[in-house]
Amino acid sequence: MKKVVAKFGGSNLKRKEDIQKLVRVIKAYDRPMVIVVSAFYGITNHLIQSLAEVKKDESQIDVLKKFLREIKEESIFENFDDEQWRHQTMSKVEDRINQLGRYLTGIHYIGDVPEFVEDVVLSYGERLSSLVLTSILQANGIDAVEALPEDMPLITDGEFGNATVNFEVSAKLVQEKLKENKIYIVPGFYGVSPEGKVTLLGRGGSDYSAAAIARCLEAESLDVWKDVDGFMSADPKLVNNPKRIKSLSYSEAAELSYFGAGILHPRTVEPLKEVGIPINISNIDTFKNKIIPGTSICGSEEISESILKSVTYSNDFCILKLRGAGVGLKQGVLAKVTSALDNAGINIKSVITSQIVINVLVSVSDIRKAFKIVEELNLSAITEIITIDKVSTIAVVGEGMLEKPGISGKLFMALAQKSINVQMIISGASSVASYFIVSSDDREKAIAAIHDEFFK
Ligand code: ASP
Ligand code: MG
């Protein structure tokens, strides 16, 4: 029997009652499976902040250990009242927190956080989740066992902070490690390099961990549990009558995630699309007894009547505008710019060029650095560099978008009627998505205008 991989994220691990909900869901599956968990809500951010404090102040180590102990104690005490079980579980938690403490002491004394140590430290949010959850499931009579990525091992390309899983090497190892008919609990967010060092899979990366494990196991499905129903036609906070999307193609889901729909990490689709493993999104808050996904993502490339399935936005695309009379025709300018940005570890989200301007789109957190890097290149072809950061990227997504005439006309007419100025339009790069850039002040108006036009 094929396994199901289910992923529970920080939003499912926020309040005390959340764990009981999770236990009910796992009982409802009633089959051997693999569960991938994130850190409890907010813990990874807390660890990041503590790292900086611990470097300067040794007493912060105990402050952090106490904080983690209290959170875990709360979920342990809330979920079972067997004294012996509580004691045993707390003592395992204590051991794991002490392991973390030793890394932190090292950091304090060397006064630095080498990247390979940073990745280990930040993985402790997930390690504590998997430990506690395994114990709670066992106390509920479930045959659960914790499986750490380093024990499989789940092998990555070794890039610290943002690694990619090597499926070819990992598949057999993961299958072997998770082969029994049990419930395996795996901490998400990291794998290990070929040398055995912990490598994080990028912020929000436990969706990707779960996808990677599903791929290695050739799972029946990847079930991602959330506190919302699934993908919607737009952010329900911004529009009237948002519609739930029952089914999406892999490409639609990947583009929506890339352009800001916060349901899935953008990298979740990539490992599963190639092998056709479906992704189901379900809401834990509305779960009763049966598992009925809100959105299913699979190979079917269904064209909807309105063509558009969803409109989404991201505030994380800034523009680096490089002006120069002939940048478009001059050979090598773009190559020099993109290589320099790449060498500095900056991800380029999009490039739009013309004869007199090259627009490079990068993340908010990279825009200042990107400006400096291009400035230092001192290229004679570039006469002016401008950064534009008060913008939002709005994307419309739907299979069949490029084939049907009139979609763009309808879209931009809706915006024009609300006097929204479109600063840049990018269409045709993907067969299922078009996106455009507006001032961030116009973002909400633009989303509402498009939604009203296409989803009346
Ligand atoms: N805990 C990690 C983060 O906050 C991974 C995740 O939640 O998916 O980035
Ligand atoms: Mg997440």
What's the pLDDT tens digit per position in 375-413?
999 999 999 999 999 999 999 999 998 888 889 999 999
Indicate if ligand 1 lies below 6 Å from the C-beta of 189: yes
User: N- to C-terminal Cα distance for the chain?
Assistant: 44
Q: What percent of the chain has pLDDT over 90?
A: 87
- Per-residue pLDDT of 146-171, as tens digits, reads 999 999 999 999 999 999 999 999 99
CB 224 within 8 A of CB 264: yes
Q: Is 38 touching ligand 1 by the criterion CB < 6 Å? A: yes
For the chain, list the domains and their CATH numbers.
Answer: 4-302 (3.40.1160.10), 311-454 (3.30.2130.10)
Per the CB < 8 A criterion, the answer to whether 33 and 213 are in contact is no
Nearest CA to ligand 1 atom 8: 204
pLDDT value for 299: 86
CA angle 399–403–405, rounded 5-degree value: 120
- Whether 199 lines ligand 1, by a CB cut-off of 6 Å, is no
Asked whether 293 lines ligand 1 (CB < 6 A), one says no
Torsional sign, CA 219, 221, 227, 232: positive
Residues near ion ligand 2 (Cβ under 5 Å) = 9, 204
- Identity (one letter) of the amino acid at 14? K
Distance between Cα 131 and ligand 2 center (Å): 18
Mean pLDDT of the 205-212 span: 97
- Alpha-carbon distance of 261 to 223, in angstroms, equals 18
* pLDDT > 80? residue 80: no
The preferred substitution site among 203, 222, 263 for testing ligand 1, maximizing ligand atoms within 8 Å of CB, is: 203
Confidence class for position 16, pLDDT limits 50, 70, 90: confident
Q: Relative to the CA of 205, which ligand 1 atom is closest?
A: 8
**Residue among 44, 186, 198, 268 whose CB has most ligand 1 atoms within 8 A, to mutate:** 44
Distance 204 CA to ligand 2 centre (A): 4
Residue 81 has pLDDT above 90, yes or no: no
What is the 41 CA–ligand 2 centroid distance (Å)? Answer: 9
187 Cβ below 6 A of ligand 1: no
Ligand 2 centroid to residue 184 C-alpha, Å: 19
Query: What was the pLDDT predicted at 17?
Result: 80
Distance 62 CA to ligand 2 centre (A): 27
Best residue among 37, 38, 124 to mutate for probing ligand 1's pocket (most ligand atoms within 8 Å of CB) is 38
pLDDT of residue 427: 84
**What's the pLDDT tens digit per position in 359-371?**
999 999 999 999 9
Q: Which residue has tokens 């983690």?
A: 68
pTM reported for the whole predicted model: 0.93
Q: Which atom of ligand 1 is nearest to the CA of 189?
A: 5
Is 125 close to ligand 1, i.e. is its CB under 6 Å away? Answer: yes
Contact 182, 144 (CB under 8 A): yes
- Ligand lying closest to the C-alpha of residue 262: 2
Residue nearest to atom 2 of ligand 1 (CA): 204
Compute φ and ψ for 195, nearest 5 degrees: -90, 0
Query: Of 3-12, 278-287, 368-377, 427-436, which gets the smallest average pLDDT?
Result: 427-436
Cα gap 250→420, rounded to integer Å: 31
Residue nearest to atom 5 of ligand 1 (CA): 204
Place of tokens 């029994």: 180
> Is 330's pLDDT higher than 90?
no
Say which ligand is closest to the CA of 123: 1
Q: Which residue CA neighbors atom 6 of ligand 1 most closely?
A: 204
d(CA 97, CA 66) in angstroms, rounded, equals: 9
pLDDT in tens, 255-308: 999 999 989 999 999 999 999 999 999 999 999 999 999 999 998 888 888 889
CA 146 to centroid of ligand 1, rounded, Å: 18
Q: How far apart are CA 110 and CA 106, in angstroms?
A: 6
